């Protein structure tokens, strides 16, 4: 009969001292988490009888954080999906215990966002925020940094020099990709309308500029109208698209960079089939409304944030911002966007 592995066997397999194994088994706090992890893996390898105790010690030895996430518009399914994905990313962390405090801002004034961000920072070790770029928000980010609370800009960057990092997609490439789709699918010369949520969202402004850059280079037959802000409101998007469809016979495409896709789709559904079939739509992200629009053929392509991957990157960046708190570097994590078409949804 094979002898049961001993503490000495475990120490030898893990390449640590017997006293280190004893300290772990006795619950000593003087052993580094990485060492406990190595011993736990060795215990699994040799079938050590006390591996349940070691696993418990490993869980208790993990660093513990409370992170705050300030998202927008609780009424929008897309932001609720972002929130759920962030919570799941926190739960997936194996080396740390991360508590996620997700809050939504419905009043999008800079004053309200700055106040909510400041209050969230009081409760958390680090925070992230989706918001338009504004001096009031930048001042709050500065104040949080002075209090040892790093802020990571999410989805759309901030100009605040005291931000700890940014996690999002390459919005320059995204805008040019959207332009490529519309240039390839527009059936004849005409106009393209661009919708943004707000001029202060850097991600939208960069995408808008690169979209126009591509069209100037490769599609001079397409005229691009001035960007139209929807203020992230579907009703405003519906009003504008309905007006364009009734007034412009040469409307060939819509690039919607910000919120309001449900209003755009409603206006297209209300239009005559021969009218809406001439208008190609490219939008951002894959919420329920976008998915339905793709399956109906109303949307040509959706350029999306990969939820799981970008959420994992956000949490990792917030941990890194605390680990390297004294570093002057701003952490940048660019996650490739996904392209979804009616045939791949």
The Cβ-side half-sphere exposure at 293, using a 13 Å CA radius, reads: 28
Give the whole-angstrom CA distance, residue 171 versus residue 175.
6
Handedness of CA 324, 41, 89, 345 (dihedral sign): positive
Residues of the chain with CATH 3.40.50.2300: 64-169+307-338, 171-304
Tracing tokens 């194994």 back to the chain, one arrives at: 21
**Three-state helix/strand/coil letters over 260-290:** CHHHHHHHHHHCCHHHHCCCEEEEECCCHHH
Give the whole-angstrom CA distance, residue 30 versus residue 322.
22
CATH of domain 64-169+307-338: 3.40.50.2300
* pLDDT tens digit at each of 345 positions of the chain: 467 899 998 989 999 999 998 888 887 767 887 888 888 899 898 988 888 888 777 777 678 999 999 999 999 999 999 999 999 999 999 888 999 999 999 999 999 999 999 999 999 999 999 999 999 999 999 999 999 999 999 999 999 999 999 999 999 999 999 999 999 998 789 999 999 998 899 999 999 999 999 999 999 999 999 999 998 899 999 999 999 999 999 999 999 998 899 999 999 999 999 999 999 999 999 999 999 999 999 999 999 999 999 999 999 999 999 998 888 899 999 999 999 999 998
Q: What is the pTM for the complete model shown?
A: 0.84
Q: Is 62 within 8 Å of 97 (Cβ atoms)?
A: yes
Architecture of the domain made up of 171-304? 3-Layer(aba) Sandwich (3.40)
């Amino acid at each position: 009969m094979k002898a049961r592995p001993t503490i000495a066997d475990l120490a030898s397999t893990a390449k640590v001292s017997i006293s280190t194994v004893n300290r772990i088994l006795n619950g000593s706090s003087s052993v580094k988490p990485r060492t406990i992890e190595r011993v736990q893996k060795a215990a699994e390898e040799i079938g050590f009888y006390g591996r349940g105790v070691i696993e418990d010690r490993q869980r208790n030895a993990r660093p513990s954080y409370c992170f705050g996430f300030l998202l927008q518009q609780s009424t929008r399914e897309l932001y609720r999906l972002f929130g759920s994905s962030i919570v799941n990313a926190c739960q997936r962390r194996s080396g740390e215990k991360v508590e996620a405090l997700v809050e939504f801002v419905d009043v999008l004034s800079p004053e309200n966002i700055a106040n909510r961000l400041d209050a969230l920072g009081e409760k958390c070790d680090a925070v992230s925020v989706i918001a338009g770029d504004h001096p009031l928000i930048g001042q709050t980010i500065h104040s949080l940094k002075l209090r040892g609370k790093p802020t990571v800009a999410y989805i759309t960057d901030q100009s605040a020099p005291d931000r700890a990092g940014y996690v999002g997609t390459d919005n320059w490439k995204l805008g040019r990709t959207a332009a490529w789709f519309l240039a390839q699918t527009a059936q004849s010369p005409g106009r393209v309308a661009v919708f943004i949520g707000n001029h202060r969202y850097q991600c939208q402004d960069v995408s808008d500029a690169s979209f126009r850059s591509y069209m100037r280079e490769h599609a001079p037959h397409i005229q691009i109208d001035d960007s139209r802000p929807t203020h992230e409101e579907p009703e405003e998007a519906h009003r504008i698209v309905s007006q364009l469809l009734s007034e412009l016979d040469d409307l060939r495409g819509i690039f919607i960079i910000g919120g309001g896709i449900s209003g755009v789709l409603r206006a297209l559904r209300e239009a005559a089939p021969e009218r809406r079939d001439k208008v190609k739509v490219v939008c951002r992200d894959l919420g329920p409304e976008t998915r339905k629009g793709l399956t109906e053929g109303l949307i040509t392509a959706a350029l999306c944030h990969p939820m799981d991957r970008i959420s994992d990157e956000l949490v990792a960046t917030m941990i890194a911002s605390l680990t390297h708190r004294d570093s002057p570097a701003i952490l940048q994590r660019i996650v490739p966007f996904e392209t979804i078409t009616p045939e791949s949804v």
